[in-house]
Amino acid sequence: MVNSNFDIDSIENADVYDSEGAKIGSVGQVYIDAQTQEPEFVTVNIGLFGSRETFIPFGATNFSPEGLRVPFSKAYIKDAPNIDVDGHLSAEEEQRLWDYYSSGHGTGRHGTEAGGPGVGTQTSDADNMVAHEERLKVDTEQREAGQVRLRKRVRTENQSIEVPVQREELVVEREQVDPNSAEARPGGAIDDANHEDEVVTLREERPVVEKETVATEKVNIGKRTVQETETVSGEVRKEQIDVEGDAEPGAKH
């Protein structure tokens, strides 16, 4: 373990090795307890080109000339709570770290109790500058996109239907009397008496039009969710640190 007389500046940028002896990154910052002023956590730069800093309990580390050794695997350290490295830990963030490392490895806590003022960053005397950049943070919100209303209206149109009908026609047939028939024998007298006319009635069919209402269509309406992708863009700013002066990095004076 690191003793209380240990010089924090001596581990700046030191290599960090996991429980299997593999290098996992380098020391980033040391966070001290606001009350005791004792080291509480140390951050390790891991990931591609040290793009991420992860917290490790300072009391669990062991310093040697080769670097800082920790009793955790790289995978376990990468799964630690994701907390912004902003120079200060809240009591809630601090408790999350202790809960994580205490649950699996029995790491004891030395220093600030839960609900205390938290821990801060211990800086060294070395000159440094931190570059920051802005990143787009996109979320979604629901809003009304439109309304649909069902309404019926009456439309009038002409409809033609062919209907078969029947009608009676008058048929008149005239025949010549056979001279050899009884009707052709002479001696018949002309009857001058009045006779009633024979009436023949003709009939015909005509279409009778009525209306009836029948169901022809049913419309169902509902909603469904469609997943799609939209591209958003915006301007972000990024700080870039330029080194100016006559001295070159690594030059001897």
CA dist 178 and 45 (Å) reads 136
| Intra-chain end-to-end CA distance of the chain, in Å | 38
The CATH superfamily assigned to 8-109+116-122 is PRC-barrel domain (2.30.30.240)
Question: Hunting for tokens 């001290």 — which residue is that?
Answer: 32
The rounded average pLDDT for each run of 10 residues, N- to C-terminus, in the chain (253 residues) is 57 89 90 87 78 87 89 91 83 91 59 40 52 82 85 88 91 84 67 72 90 88 87 85 69 49
| Element (DSSP H or E) covering residue 54 | strand 52-57
So what's the pLDDT on residue 108? 44
So what's the pLDDT on residue 95? 92
Beta strands 67-69 and 15-17 are parallel
pTM: 0.41
CA-angle at 78, arms to 36 and 9, nearest 5° = 40
Beta strands 23-33 and 119-122 are antiparallel
Map out the domains of the chain as residue ranges. 8-109+116-122
So what's the pLDDT on residue 175? 85
